[in-house]
Amino acid sequence: MILAEACRTRRLSDRQQESTPLQQSCYPRVSVDEIGKSVFLYVTMGQPGLTPRHMALHAPPKTLRAGRSVAQAMPTKEVTALSDMNTNQARQTRLAHDVRKEELLRAVIDVCAQEGISKLSVSNITKHVGCTRSLFYHYFPNKEAALEAALDYTIDAFIDRLRTWNANRTRGDIEGALDTISALLRSMVLQTPDLPKSIAIGGDAILYTDFVHRVAERCARYICDSTVVEFQRYHEVLIDHVFETFYVLISGLIMFIRSHPYTSTEVIKDIIASTLHIEGFTAKYASRNPECPAPA
């Protein structure tokens, strides 16, 4: 009888142990927010945190089955801080990348200006910057690609000057806009940056023609998308094939001014106005203004 009572007591004790939930064990309970905060401190500040195994052992079973990720488990402020930190790091990396690439582009321009385009080589470019060839090839596959990028870099400066002109001109003052754009175009050609000048001096007609084509195309696109759009809100555009007309006008004037450097701004203004059929908006040809009634 004593033996039977002992066996019954032992079976009762085993059932109680089997029914005891995990959260009542010797392991302390850890909330989801505490887990997230510990992981955040461990990752961002190098302070001790909970390992994934540690979290699995200490988290309540219902919490683990909820399907929440570590990021979701983190407190909102810590998640935002971690996101901002990653964004800042990406921005700094991008800025460093842009600065290094610009240094290489400036080196291409300087080498061409100082030694001539025929002397352009990867070795000369990297020597000028003070970097390795592997860094150069990280940005460009060859010197030709670097030269193409340097040309686009130079044209970007032209477009920036054109944007400044468009932003600063007086709205409605068509003759004033003609005066300033004529002076700007003349200075852009005669005060040519180092790279286009070295191409022209070096006698590479094909490359210089390609440069003029790029300038004319991008300038014409910009003017058609900005100045022309505003002009046609108040006036009739009297030319067909607007983009093509601007392209031919700009490329032709670049070549003409380059071969005739003493051409006055007034002559350039008359050429632009006559080509675009807006000479009637100038004092010189006021009688040709299509918006004024003809004299009786």
d(CA 292, CA 294): 6
Which helix H or strand E contains 83, and what residues bound it? helix 76-115
The residue behind tokens 């006559």 is: 274
Residue bearing tokens 């939930």: 21
Average pLDDT, the chain: 76
- Cβ–Cβ < 8 Å for 154, 244: no
Kindly indicate the confidence band of residue 28, based on its pLDDT and cuts at 50, 70 and 90: very low
Task: In whole angstroms, give the CA distance from residue 164 to residue 263.
Answer: 24
Residue 41 has pLDDT above 50, yes or no: no
Phi, psi torsion values for 15, nearest 5 degrees: -65, -40
pTM: 0.64
Residue 271 vs residue 108, higher pLDDT = 271
17 pLDDT band (50/70/90 cuts)?
A: low
**Measured distance CA(157)–CA(98) in Å, rounded:** 16
The burial of 238, by beta-carbon neighbours within 10 Å (0-12 exposed, 13-18 middle, 19 or more buried), is given as exposed
Quote the CA–CA distance of 12 and 287 in Å, as a whole number.
115
Q: pLDDT confidence of 100, banded at 50, 70, 90?
A: confident
Determine which of 72-76, 110-114, 164-168 has the lowest per-residue pLDDT on average: 72-76
Scanning the structure block, which residue is given the tokens 């935002």? 80
pLDDT for 32 equals 46
Torsional sign, CA 173, 174, 180, 181: positive
Report the alpha-carbon distance of residue 230 to residue 172 in Å, rounded: 10
Query: What confidence category does residue 72 fall into, taking pLDDT thresholds of 50, 70 and 90?
Result: low
Using alpha carbons only, give the angle 9, 12, 13 rounded to the nearest 5 degrees.
Answer: 85
Domain ranges of the chain: 22-74, 150-288
pLDDT tens-place string over residues 180-233: 999 999 998 888 666 666 666 665 678 888 889 999 999 999 999 999 999 999
pLDDT tens track for 115-159 = 888 888 999 999 989 889 999 999 999 999 998 998 898 899 899
Q: At CB < 8 A and 24+ separation, what contacts does 222-230 make?
A: 222/159, 222/162, 222/163, 222/166, 223/162, 226/166, 227/166, 227/177, 230/171
Q: What percent of the chain has pLDDT over 70?
A: 61
Whether the CA torsion 152, 157, 162, 163 is positive or negative: it is positive
Among residues 105, 97, 219, the alpha carbon closest in space to that of 158 is found at 219
Integer CA distances (angstroms), 75 to 28, 47, 52, 83, 87, in order: 21, 17, 18, 13, 19
Task: Pick 131 or 83 by higher pLDDT.
Answer: 131
Give the separation between CA 51 and CA 268, rounded to whole angstroms.
74
